[in-house]
Structure 1
Amino acid sequence: MLRSMYSAVSGMRGFQTKLDVIGNNIANVNTVGFKKSRVMFQDVLSQNLAGATAPNPTDPRRGGVNPRQVGLGVQIGAIDTLHTPGSPMTTGVLTDLAIAGDGFFLVVPPGMDPNDGNYYLTRAGNFTLDAEGQLVTSDGYLVLGFDVDDDGNAINSPISIRIDPDADFVAYDITRNGNVIGYLEDGTSEVIAVIALGLVNNPGGLRKIGGSLYEMTANAHPDGALVWGQNLGTIDSLGVTAEIISGMLEMSNVDLTEEFTEMIVAQRGFQANSRIITTSDEILQEVVNLKR
């Protein structure tokens, strides 16, 4: 059988996967906090027809010869998640939060202990308050934060953020450094909690689990996410800056112009590989007809 036929099959499989990824990107063009993916190709092993030879130092009339190889197709080298910022959208809702900079919100399913590493990361900040005053995701996952001392400094282990509905606060606010502040009738204020952010060395190493959530892997950070709950704009040790903006959401980073262009490239690539199979089949038919 012709090698070109099998090479074309691998090309069609690769472009089919690329179309699957593009379709998912386009489907999530309006998903809050969604990060698009891309497919990277790489060639597979090549068959060596002849090796390389070095120039003959004793005979200047004879130079070196390059190797002669025939490629055997293509394969998927990587499917990367691109954690570039999405476009901000103003909502005016206090509990809608967007991260300006690096980091992820930390959320945990009810009944699970975040100190055991049972937390997920997300950039989707469309949070709400439940009947108990807890800050939760649309699926009921608890948003993590920290208690604060009398000086407003984060203390203890991560906890769920709760605004007591029975407290005598007349208004609330969430500042850019993550402080959840309650205002009393006499005009004074109190820091209720600090929203936690998780930082990872390699965001591309996170694993998508659905619901705009990510799960830690060994290639994201060897020791789990580094959790910061205070002074989010001055994490100088890692060179990271981040702010939490209330009343805004980070939308998907999918660019439809780019996705449709890549769709055309994938479609034409699939068609070209299918034409290779058709041409190879015609050649095989000619070989069969030689006996007639």
Structure 2
Amino acid sequence: MMRSLYSAVLGMRGFQTKMDVIGNNIANVNTVGFKASRVMFHDLMSQTLSGATAPGNTTGGSNPQQVGLGVGLASIDTPMTPGAPMMTGVPTDLAIDGNGFFVVQLPDGATQAYTRAGNFHIDSNRNLVTSEGLFVLDTGGAPIQVPDNTKSVSIDKNGNVNCLLDDGTTQTAAQIGLANFANPEGLQKIGNNLYVETTNSGTADVQAPNQGVFGSITSGALEMSNVDLTNEFTEMIIAQRAFQANARTITSDDQMLQEVVNLKR
């Protein structure tokens, strides 16, 4: 059978995966804090028909003759480029201006997850939580709770949760923690705008906002998705044409094989 037939099949599979990623990116164009993914390919091993030869006294050298055996999926990357901020005016809506992730506690009570989506609110127990009800953690890894006698809550660029009390005094209830990683692209998505650390992301370094490499907090704003629709639709066209080209290769191979079969007639 023709090598090009199998190479084309691998090409179609690869571009099917690329279309899956593009479709997911476009679907999340308005998802707060979402980070778009991209697909990278690499060529597979090549069959060597003849090796290279060195130059001699009477002849020059020759290059190796190789036939490639298709394409493979090299990686699905998630660049952590920032999304544009959207002003909401809600004091508990938070955006990170710079590096870092909010730290939240998963329902098992022991595992921490990380997010760039800051659409938080205060629940009936006065805890600062995500839209799914997960506790937002402070710099020490504890849930953030505001006093019962709070008139209003404001959060400054350093992540301080400042509460105006009934008696007119102000109390800082907690300081929001931010996590940073040696390789943020190594984080693993688990849904609901959440990431967990992996062996390639490195462990979380949790610090206060607006110091060192950590970004500052903008209250009353949300970080939007970093999906670039212009780029996504361009990549969609490229993936579609590449898929069609690989399908055309299979059609041409089929016609050539049919000619071979018909040689006996």
1:189-204 matches, cutoff 5 A:
189-204=170-185
Q: CA deviation at 1:39?
A: 0.3
TM superposition shift of 1:110: 4.3
Question: Would the alpha carbon gap of residues 17 and 2 (structure 1) be closer, same or farther in structure 2, given more than 3 Å must change?
Answer: same
Query: Relative to structure 1, is the Cα distance of residues 164 and 185 closer, same or farther in structure 2, using a 3 angstrom cutoff?
Result: closer
Distance 2:249 2:135 in 1: 54
Worse overlay, 183-192 or 83-92 = 183-192
**What is residue 228 of structure 1 aligned with on the other side?**
207
1:20 aligns to 2:20 (yes or no):
yes
* Residue equivalent to 1:138: 131
Contact 2:147 2:173 in 1 (8 A): no
Report the Cα offset of residue 158 of structure 1: 1.5
Contact 1:109 1:140 in 2 (8 A): no
**Residues 127-178 of structure 1 deviation map (CA, whole Å, 9 limit, x = unaligned):** 11100110011111000014xxxxxxxxxx311001122x2x4332100010
Give the AA of the match of 1:17: T
Gaps of 5+ in 2: none
Partner of 1:163: 146
Counterpart of 2:198 in 1: which secondary structure? coil
Q: Is the 8 A contact 2:7 2:69 kept in 1?
A: yes
Instruction: Quickly say closer, same or farther: Cα 1:141–1:185, change in 2 above 3 A.
Output: closer
Inter-partner Cα distance in structure 1 for 2:167 and 2:129: 29
Pairing 1:217–2:217 present: no
The DSSP-based 3-state class of the residue aligned with 1:145 is coil
Q: Per-residue CA shift, 1:84-141, capped at 9, x if unaligned?
A: 000110000011000000000001134603xxxx100000100111001100111110
Aligned to 2:30: 30
- The amino acid across from 1:14 in the alignment is G
Task: State the Cα deviation string for residues 51-72 of structure 1 (Å, max 9, x = none).
Answer: 001111xx1x411100000000
1:267 pairs with 2:240: yes
- DSSP 3-state at the match of 2:264: coil
Deviations 1:187-240 (A, max 9, x none): 54221100011111111100000000001101000xx201113xx2222xxxx1
Distance in 2, matches of 1:109 and 1:210, equals 12
Secondary structure (helix, strand or coil) at the match of 1:125 reads: coil
Contact 1:134/1:161 (<8 A) preserved: yes
Q: Using the alignment, how far apart are the partners of 1:202 and 1:53 within structure 2? A: 43
Give deviations 1:30-80, integer Å, cap 9, x for gaps.
Answer: 000100000000000000000001111xx1x41110000000000100000
Among residues 220, 235, 250, which one is paired with 1:277 in the alignment? 250
| Match runs of 1:1-292 below 5 Å | 1-56=1-56, 59=57, 61-110=58-107, 112-113=109-110, 118-146=111-139, 157-165=140-148, 167=149, 169-184=150-165, 188-221=169-202, 224-229=203-208, 232-235=209-212, 240-292=213-265
Structure 1 residues not aligned, in runs of 5+:
147-156
Where 1:84 maps in the other structure, the secondary structure is coil
Q: Is the 8 A contact 1:132 1:164 kept in 2?
A: no
The number of equivalent residue pairs is: 265
CA distance in 2, matches of 1:186, 1:291: 100
CA distance in 2, matches of 1:122, 1:140: 14
The CA distance in 1 between the partners of 2:141 and 2:18, in whole Å, is 40
Q: TM-score, normalised by structure 2?
A: 0.97
